[in-house]
Structure 1
């Protein structure tokens, strides 16, 4: 019975990562917003954050490399430097916050993401504004894994087209994700259970990306925005259900 439940958990993790990779491929972000709250309904939230980070890093690195000609590298460098300040703060939150409070934080962050994107908010894109976004990205990457929406708001303000938007997001996610993974390793959060779940779910990443690319190449900008919003609403609902359970 225990073995059957473990196999079922691996299958569920595969399906969740597949959905997250599909969302990331179509919208440029969304992997963690989909995967973290859904995984947190079947495993503890700390493990959900780390498993998501381990599976997502391959996706973002490959995406940034593949679309490197569309990446705004100067912007990526500024955001990465600022994220380096935020990652230790986020790691402290992940390690010290009780599990239920961490689940609640994930739910609140996801809901905030929904409001931010739904409202079409624009952020100041001067040096101070971009620096603040970078720090917030670092905190969210390590604490909840749900780091996309501040970047979405900033890049919408800069008027990036969908391909530049997706490529630059992937580049920032890659650098912030690698920093967070180093922190997880130093904090002892990458254990046998995390590695088992990550390895089982990893094949879902290229499959989800391939499926998403089939949609991405045929999508209009207005539909692109609606897909982002629907994905955020779904992940927010899952996060709330996990906290209420």
Structure 2
């Protein structure tokens, strides 16, 4: 992966900011990284750089929570479907059609930001969860495989299950971890593994972790809700710009 000094500086800054957002809100690293880097690199290259930092930070988030085993037993149908959907959808990301993947990425960012900003909180009845979880997982996997973004519709769905805050953060960590590993497997399966980009991806763990640490400090001084709204508006504008640029 041949990056100019200016692009390399942007990549490092992006992962720091993405880590900062994750430190404040508990999510957002892959979304920020794909959104910003997708504007200057191909979505496939951006996804390849994302894999190691996303894996490390999401594992940290997953195992910092109260009960991995209980969550895994409850959510395994969703997680299994995420893997299947991601493997299927990865053919789109690995296909090399830059306009199609950039459009899909832009639309995913717009959809996530708009739904999160505008939709009212809702609750999935317990009786529906057995059917809803694999369907949501499959849809999330297809979006992940096509765009490298893990949040639609997994995040709104997990928020609708009535978890306590710490358990919700851990459930998001579980979903993001499974999505990241499935994306890496999908790219390998499609013959689109990053090659020497694995080293670049591993090195980007440092700015991501520094950003996460900074975000956890910043969280004590600002309102996470206000910060999250500003972050979502930025994602919405970025997604609209990417979609419009790809379609022109």
Q: Distance in 2 between matches of 1:92 and 1:120?
A: 34
Deviation at 1:196, TM superposition (A): 4.8
Q: Does 1:239 align with 2:242?
A: no
Contact 2:30 2:149 (8 Å CA) reproduced: yes
Written as runs of structure 1 = structure 2, the 5 A alignment for 1:160-239 is: 160-192=163-195, 194-216=197-219, 223-239=223-239
Q: Distance in 2 between matches of 1:131 and 1:191?
A: 29
Partner of 1:74: 73
Normalised by the length of structure 1, the TM-score is 0.86
Q: Distance in 1 between matches of 2:171 and 2:66?
A: 8
Written as runs of structure 1 = structure 2, the 5 A alignment for 1:105-124 is: 105-118=104-117, 119-120=119-120, 122=122, 124=124
Partner of 2:59: 61
Deviation at 1:47, TM superposition (A): 0.8
Deviation at 1:212, TM superposition (A): 1.9
Contact 1:90 1:139 (8 Å CA) reproduced: yes
Partner of 2:132: 129
Partner of 1:29: 27
Partner of 1:10: 8
Contact 1:27 1:166 (8 Å CA) reproduced: no
Which deviates further from its counterpart, 26-35 or 224-233?
A: 224-233
Distance 1:52 1:168, change over 3 A: same
Runs (5+) with no aligned partner, structure 2:
none
Distance 1:177 1:161, change over 3 A: same
Q: Does 1:152 align with 2:151?
A: no
Runs (5+) with no aligned partner, structure 1:
none
Normalised by the length of structure 2, the TM-score is 0.85
- State the Cα deviation string for residues 81-124 of structure 1 (Å, max 9, x = none): 12122112211221236201211111111111012111135363
Q: Which 4+ stretches in 1 moved above 6 angstroms?
A: none
How many matched pairs?
A: 239
Contact 1:83 1:135 (8 Å CA) reproduced: yes
Partner of 2:18: 20
Q: Does 1:46 align with 2:49?
A: no
Deviation at 1:39, TM superposition (A): 0.3
Give me the CA root mean square deviation.
Answer: 2.5
